[in-house]
A and B are shown apart, each in its own frame.
Chain A
């Protein structure tokens, strides 16, 4: 038996009992979960097959590339197997938007090692940009007639400012990048805990500005609608496509998927660039990095700026998708929600962060409110699980940090740092991720 296993190991297959057992349990859980969240069972099964193949042939590069391509195709065709107005697509779209945010936070926390507890500020700014430039919020714009740019009917005829979605994304990227750098500036001299607190304070200040924005009047216009929120926001309007509606969710899903794809591309390119290596050096040892000629100020500010820009992009999309920009969305707990995604998946691990974001989004938007909510009452406890969702995330943070600080899909370098408490050795250079455990 041992000999067989050894020869299989040599052939690059992972077929030990533990892996096979995990895959079998994974199949059952996947199908059961899929049933609960109204996911197409065939698609769920295909997903499991992809993960299983990748796990078993974990050293084969061709299989690796093949499964990744198949996974991309799977994600694109998924909506055809789902009801276009259904709850699954609704949650999936939101999960993708949150993935964009988690990938942004991952740059700040995972790559550069700067703990940011105020990420919600960038979501707020992105969503506000959508509120300003994609709605009737500025009633007086264009002399009361409205001002529009590259949008079709009916938005172009309404009062307020109506810009094209892509244009608003560009504006949001500029605004949030600047904001990210401004928030980053005061933290340059600080380390560790102090950075966390300053970013948290900024997050809260931005949240307060949104809530009380109806009291701030600049040039005769208030800056937000306060607790009432800005609504409705224009639907996404892309060239050559029919205008989006709230009932047909497939186009929304694809737009979110496209955003994730773009952000992923940027993420991988950044990680393997000079800047990405500078971030990792900074994370491992700031003093050493500085003495090797890494420009600390520029490197840190770029981390904040890039991470913030992704938050802004997701904010614009969510503003349009949720059709409202409401102050209650921008609370501290949201920052922790996104942070929990990064921690769960694995700090610095791009694949892990995607997994963490999708899993936690579904837990938050689907499993807790719809599936498990009545479980406490079934065992005779008198409370709603929805009230406790953030306690569950808090619990997750503690458990992950104590038991598996490197996350579900660890980044190899980070894992060395976390488990051995030192910077990674010389041999760990280069990109190879080790998929140690895949849970889908």
Chain B
């Protein structure tokens, strides 16, 4: 595998455009990612004499990025195994948030609830959100993608878009068309401590502290367990995996389950961190997380997490400096540039799609 990748990378480039593309592909992405932090860092230094503002952006960006990382894992897992962009994945994440909000109401958790009750309640909610999103994702695969596995690739992508709209409307039916606030259970904005003017809030800690164990669990599961090995085998060659006695259908379902579980957890963290939920959050989040997955190299778990954090930081800097209304345009511009100049991402291999 390694050797063939190297061979594909060797420059057999004939015209100038290919050479330029090659150069930009090698170094351009990293340079591009550094543009915003460096520019605003210099600006901060000359204006305030310290990097505190940039530091705050980075911290907020990391905690947002943790959420995108969890969602991006779902994209990258599914893409790695059946080469399909699960367009409805952002909506699965949104449903996770809605389940969280609903169950918090059912349990009657409020800001007045004591710490032990809160921790227990949130753990149960987390479990429920994960199960709901995971089951939903498996259901989508069963109904929408499995019957189309031998059809042209256009077909499952269109059903994916269809599911995305259906789930958005489920969201509308559930909580209505406008954003809904939920109780600020973890007191997300409360500052825990600050280092050199960079404040770390409870929400930041929660987001990162909840994400890291989940990512570790997932990577361990995939690299160590028997089922994880089956997943990797199926990703590499479904036919050969089938011949070796792996149940490919079950393995694909498992992949969707894992992706959904991560999205559900992200949904809970998002709900607690932002304290607002609405039906449209999944669309934006889905595209941002997809950008993250592509940035890291689609099919690569570490890449997805790295991409999530990077995109989180870019988004936060853009929100803070340029204006939130431009953030989607900036994130999408990054997406297009990466797709054009380095479709394999930061850590990824050349894929057939990007070839």
Contacts and interface: CB of A to CB of B under 8 A. Distances in A.
Contacts of B148: 401-402, 405
Contacts of A205: 329, 332-333, 336
A198 interface: yes
B343 A194 contact: yes
A338 B183 CA distance: 40
Interface of A: prevailing SS: helix
B159 A191 contact: no
A61 interface: no
A401 B332 contact: no
- The interface size bin for chain B is 35 or more
A115 B353 CA distance: 14
Interface in B300-320: none
Interface string B139-177: 000011001101111111111011111101110110001
A120 B158 CA distance: 17
A117 interface: yes
Contacts of B83: 193
Contact of B290 (A191, A197, A332, A418): A197
B226 interface: no
B235 interface: no
Contacts of A332: 283
Interface in A292-348: 332-333, 336, 339, 343, 347
A191 B339 CA distance: 11
Contact of B343 (A115, A189, A417): A189
A194 B172 contact: no
A362 to B, nearest CB: 19
Contact of A204 (B154, B162, B177, B332): B332
B335 interface: yes
B328 interface: yes
B340 interface: yes
A421 B155 CA distance: 11
Given A117-B161, A186-B336, A198-B336, A391 B168 contact: yes
Contact of A208 (B173, B290, B329): B329
Given A190-B339, A190-B343, A193-B157, A398 B152 contact: no
A194 B144 CA distance: 20
A196 B158 CA distance: 10
Contacts of A398: 143-144, 159, 162-163, 166
B153 A396 contact: no
Nearest to A392: B169
Interface in A390-409: 390-398, 401-402, 405
Interface of A: 109, 113, 115, 117, 186, 189-194, 196-198, 200-202, 204-205, 208-209, 211-212, 332-333, 336, 339, 343, 347, 383, 387-388, 390-398, 401-402, 405, 417-418, 421
Given A192-B154, A196-B85, 19 more contacts: A115-B154, A115-B158, A186-B339, A189-B340, A191-B352, A194-B354, A198-B336, A198-B339, A202-B332, A205-B332, A208-B332, A333-B165, A391-B165, A391-B168, A397-B162, A398-B159, A402-B148, A405-B155, A418-B151
* A-B residue pairs, 3 tightest by C-beta: A391-B169, A394-B165, A397-B162
24 contacts: A109-B154, A115-B158, A190-B339, A193-B83, A193-B84, A194-B343, A197-B85, A198-B335, A202-B332, A204-B287, A205-B329, A212-B326, A212-B329, A388-B169, A388-B172, A391-B168, A391-B172, A393-B162, A394-B163, A394-B168, A401-B148, A401-B155, A402-B148, A421-B151
Interface of B: 83-85, 143-144, 147-148, 150-159, 161-166, 168-170, 172-173, 177, 283, 287, 290, 294, 325-326, 328-329, 332-333, 335-336, 339-340, 343, 352-355
